[in-house]
Structure 1
Amino acid sequence: MTSTAAPLDLLLLPTWLVPVEPAGVVLKEHGLGIRDGCIAFIGPRAAAMKLAANEVRELPGMLLSPGLINAHGHAAMSLFRGLADDLPLMTWLEKHIWPAEAKWVDEAFVRDGTNLAIAEQLKGGITCFSDMYFYPKVASDCVHSSGMRAQIAMPILDFPIPGASSADEALRQGIELFGDLKHHPRIKIAFGPHAPYTVCDANLEKIRVIAEELDAAIHMHVHETAFEVQQAVEQTGERPLARLARLGLLGPRFQAVHMTQISEDDLALLVESNTSVIHCPESNLKLASGFCPVERLWQAGVNVAIGTDGAASNNDLDLLGETRTAAMLAKAVAGSATALDAHRALRMATLNGARAMGLESQIGSLEVGKAADMVAFDLSGLAQQPIYDPVSQLIYATGRDCVKHLWVAGKQLLDDRQLTRMDEQQLTATAIAWGQRISGHNE
């Protein structure tokens, strides 16, 4: 389990180490060593203490796990948090969000909103996130300087969007950005057709061809509501997922976001194509969009990851809280208390997200050779006692305020709850200033 060529850069000694792979394992009194941004050692504490290390950190009462992976969101929409709450999805989009975007979204908005989202996610234990929003180059610049990891999906719609006057222009920008960042160690570019009802067959076919050529992921809202599916069937006689299958988009690189409506035929298509589903329970609950049948998907062998969606419809980017909601909801939907147990819920928030993004060989579990993307949760508090199963305690009794330390590629981005590279006061002040500008317009 070790390679001991040079001294470790850092040796961590947590009370519990949860590697996620192999499944269901909790290692007590083990150490994890990092060298050159990767995990170089995992083994019992006694063996760990014999290794040379430049820095040794004791993490008493803490659980060390892979960093959480937020598999779907719209980072810059943090600046619209709480702008138009308690409305149905299409009213929310057409009457509030789209007009606000048309008025306010520019490069400065995306930069400030993305930085706010990155900081919130780091403080919540998230080391990697998927983003689908306008001006993706600006978002990727924010990710680059923050030290975080991300998949940035180029949004593509049939009509003009902020930063791109047409679907063809958005595709051109996506190809260029993909080329610029293809060797970036922490950023992957994907293509993000918005939804089946906003992208025509011709544009979807272009996206499929380009994604195949570049071996890039496709990230898309699919079957978010019953209305979307029903409308498609009435207009075309075909369910949206069946249309995507006919056009050749489904496959291991395809990330189907939401999927609250799943028929037997839909399930067969997901299984056969090895498509990943990204489950966003709190956004779906808040917009009354429906329930993704997570346990049914899991038992059929579909890879299900988890996302927060944007802060405009959630309203937080709290993946730990999202995972707890997902575990509870899965039980209610399946009518079974054994559905989505705590260990599988944590896997959904880590390794399954990595797999959806094609990053499972690099991140998502604590294994020698993988990138050192990790989070330490403090389980020493009153509300976590007594501890029978630390993973159950993490999922069912712990909030994101227990996130103590966080590393991406071995670099510490959160130290004792303090961001190491970002100025929290400045970010807060900037967000307040945007809120004042935007609400002034709404009054």
Structure 2
Amino acid sequence: MTATAAPLDLLLLPTWLVPVEPAGVVLKEHGLGIRDGRIAFIGPRAAALKLSANEVRELPGMLLSPGLINAHGHAAMSLFRGLADDLPLMTWLEKHIWPAEAKWVDEAFVRDGTDLAIAEQLKGGITCFSDMYFYPKVASDCVHNSGMRAQIAIPILDFPIPGASTPDEAIRQGVELFGDLKHHPRIKITFGPHAAYTVCDDNLEKIRVIAEELDAAIHMHVHETAFEVQQAVEQTGERPLARLGRLGLLGPRFQAVHMTQISEDDLALLVESNTSIIHCPESNLKLASGFCPVERLWQAGVNVAIGTDGAASNNDLDLLGETRTAAMLAKAVAGSATALDAHRALRMATLNGARAMGLESEIGSLEVGKAADIVAFDLSGLAQQPIYDPVSQLIYATGRDCVKHLWVAGKQLLDDRQLTRMDEQQLTATAIAWGQRISGHSE
């Protein structure tokens, strides 16, 4: 069926259109047509106006890009935002976060926290996110109801966690959820062993076997801090990444989150296995965890995506801001002003995230046939003028408050900064009530 066979559901006419693929391209005065939730047309404005469309939206001063992809986070932890700031990772986890989780996390917490995170992310231009947290079925229900797209990683640790008293129970729940949702158009289930220091070889082997059988991805914190790597070497004589390689976990379906410590051997292993890395610069900076050498990885051909991590360690779910930080940090770490330019930074926040999740044929770029996951950024404001390169202005001079409209699979979830399916006032009131309970100011 050609693009003109039936009327378009929606024709968007922005000032700029950045497809991300092909790389480095900015299309001026072009239109994008959507039909049945997919991109059906991209072409010059004059050609677009000749097409029949049920709705036409003029978007002057706006840049249309693929929806941003937040490739790592813990959505429900938005309810712990600011709870235990300015502490090193292990102190933060062991003394504050883990005890708070043991006390407060239940299905209601996960539902309310995930809804809060979804709303924040939609308002920030994110159309797809990866979530790794307890009660994953509850989180998947939230995603389903919201219209958003997500990868849900089933959390697996060697000790009891909220919602699963043993690792075997967590794996079993994961397999069941994978089966239930394998045909869901917007939700992908993956397995999320927490980290090398919280999951033993036997459980990692089980996860590897099941992930291979189901062709499912594995999403895991790896080399988050120098201490983690040093402790592993002292205890076992082996770096965590090397251990994962020996156990057969690394590969194109493996998502290594953080990777602030990368030796020459680590780099060789990443390249050889075609493993993706999820870079979370602001969480790593805030927890003083180290610096992921993004430019070195990029030049070696490693796929690097970007994530915010949870709001308890960031403290926001602002992927546009995260991408700006990533671009700045990459330059400082590489000692080169040409490292991670604006166009590559945007690619990292879109198509690279899709590739890490195995969704690159579906989302991550604006191409005919792909799902219509699209965001419109308003660059007409004072702070964006004058515009020489709209992608540079987007990355270096624009905040998430410039996100104007957003569509997932052709459905508009943000219209002129307003959420179309969620009640922002209700979400805010619910979050405030949780904060009062957790801080002990109410019963």
TM-score surpassing 0.5?
yes
Q: CA deviation at 1:365?
A: 0.0
Q: Structure 1: state its 5+ residue gaps.
A: none
- Contact kept? 2:436, 2:442, Cα under 8 Å: no
Q: How far apart are 1:4 and its partner, in Å?
A: 1.4
Contact between 1:123 and 1:403, CA under 8 Å: does it hold in 2? yes
SS at match of 2:343: helix
Distance 1:331 1:153 in 2: 31
Aligned residues: 443
- Alpha-carbon distance in structure 2 between the residues aligned to 1:110 and 1:137: 10
Within-5 A mapping of 1:134-145: 134-145=134-145
Return the alpha-carbon distance in structure 1 between the equivalents of residues 437 and 165 of structure 2: 26
SS in 2 for 1:441: coil
Structure 2 Cα separation of the partners of residues 187 and 374 of structure 1: 17
Deviation at 1:22, TM superposition (A): 0.1
Distance 2:179 2:73 in 1: 23
CA-to-partner distance for each residue in 1:132-159, whole Å, 9 max, x for gaps? 0000000000000000000000000000
**8 Å contact from structure 1 (residues 221, 257) kept in 2:** yes
C-alpha contact (below 8 Å) 2:20/2:351 kept by paired residues? yes
Q: Which runs of 4+ in 1 moved over 6 A?
A: none
Q: CA RMSD in A?
A: 1.1
2:421, 2:235 → 1: CA distance?
A: 51
Shift of 1:281: 0.1
TM-superposition CA deviations, 1:178-232 (whole Å, max 9, x none): 0000000000000000000000000000000000000000000000000000000
Partners of 2:88 and 2:318 in 1: how far apart? 22
What is the distance in 1 between the residues matched to 2:233 and 2:84? 30
1:373–1:410 CA contact under 8 A, matched in 2: yes
Q: CA deviation at 1:2?
A: 5.7
Q: CA deviation at 1:3?
A: 1.9
> Normalized against structure 1, the TM-score is what?
0.99
Are the structure 2 counterparts of residues 442 and 156 from structure 1 closer, same or farther at C-alpha, using a change threshold of 3 Å?
Answer: farther
Deviations 1:286-327 (A, max 9, x none): 000000000000000000000000000000000000000000
What is residue 428 of structure 1 aligned with on the other side? 428
Gap regions ≥5 residues in structure 2: none
1:182 aligned partner: 182
Measured after TM superposition, the shift of residue 5 of structure 1 is 1.1
Answer whether contact 1:2 1:368 (CA < 8 A) is retained: no
**Does the aligned pair in 2 maintain the 1:2–1:41 contact within 8 Å?**
no
The CA deviation at 1:17 is 0.1
1:442 shift after superposition = 11
Would the aligned equivalents of 1:363 and 1:370 in 2 still touch at CA under 8 Å?
yes
Q: Secondary structure at the match of 2:233?
A: helix
SS in structure 1 at match of 2:3 = coil
Report deviation, 1:424: 0.0
- What is the SS of the residue equivalent to 1:440? coil
Aligned residue for 1:337, secondary structure, equals coil
Give, in whole Å, the separation in 1 of the partners of 2:213 and 2:3: 37
- 1:83-118 deviations in Å (ceiling 9; x for gaps): 000001000000000000000000000000000000
Q: 1:337 to 1:80 in 2, by over 3 A?
A: same
Native 8 Å contact 1:2 1:42 kept in 2:
no
Give the alignment's TM-score, normalised by structure 2: 0.99
Corresponding residue SS for 2:93: helix
User: Per the alignment, in what secondary structure is the counterpart of residue 442 of structure 1?
Assistant: coil
Paired with 1:425 and 1:213, the residues of 2 have a C-alpha distance of: 44
Instruction: Give the distance between the partners of 2:253 and 2:442, measured in 1 at CA.
Output: 40
Identical columns (%):
96
Instruction: Tell me how far apart the structure 2 counterparts of residues 161 and 367 of structure 1 sit (CA, whole Å).
Output: 41
Report if aligned partners of 1:323, 1:346 keep a CA contact under 8 Å in 2: yes
